[in-house]
Amino acid sequence: MKVKKIFNSKDAAFTPLLQERGRGEVLKVLTILIFLAIFSSCENKPFINATLKAEKSGDCSQQAPPVQMNKNINGERYEFSACLQDGFDEKNYSVTRQGDTLLVNIAAPTTNTTTALYKLTLDIDAYPQYKYIKLGDQILDIGISAN
């Protein structure tokens, strides 16, 4: 009994292309098409990733140092001080986007509570880029963010 081949390389649809150009060029073209298909399927959706670290640094009568910002490939780091409720929980904050501005909302102390000065370190990675950030009552023009 004779077995018939299901796939014969001579019957392949791209055989004329192979004969005309050579295998090296065809592999280059196929590689480029595969990479184009992969990269075109990638889509960046808007996001904001933020982490806050708080360290008690004294009482609220001390002068707070100015805001410091460091940019790198992973986003931005803001270091600033704020007078907050004593025993401040690092989870009591939120970061939202409004246009090209990030709004950082930190729980303000209530009127009849003990307060302390906290050194806050806020790491932010956001897409799309933002130009302003509002930290409490301050609005900072940071230009274009690093990401």
pLDDT digits (tens, 9 = 90+) for 28-74: 888 998 888 887 777 778 899 999 999 998 888 877 788 899 888 88
| Alpha carbons 106 and 135: distance in angstroms, whole number | 8
Say which range, 60-64, 78-82, 95-99, has the weakest mean pLDDT. Answer: 60-64
| Alpha carbons 140 and 131: distance in angstroms, whole number | 8
| Alpha carbons 34 and 40: distance in angstroms, whole number | 10
Kind plus residue range of the DSSP H or E element containing 19: helix 15-21
* Strand residue runs (E) in the chain: 47-58, 68-72, 75-85, 93-98, 101-106, 115-127, 132-135, 138-141
Work out the average pLDDT over 78-86.
90
Confidence of residue 9 (pLDDT cuts 50, 70, 90): low
Give the pTM. 0.67
- Per-residue model confidence (pLDDT) at position 18: 53
Residue 11 scores a pLDDT above 70 = no
| Alpha carbons 79 and 53: distance in angstroms, whole number | 10
Residue 10 scores a pLDDT above 80 = no
With contact defined as beta carbons under 8 Å apart, do 77 and 122 qualify?
A: yes
- Per-residue model confidence (pLDDT) at position 90: 86
Cα dihedral angle (85, 89, 90, 96), rounded to 10 degrees? -70
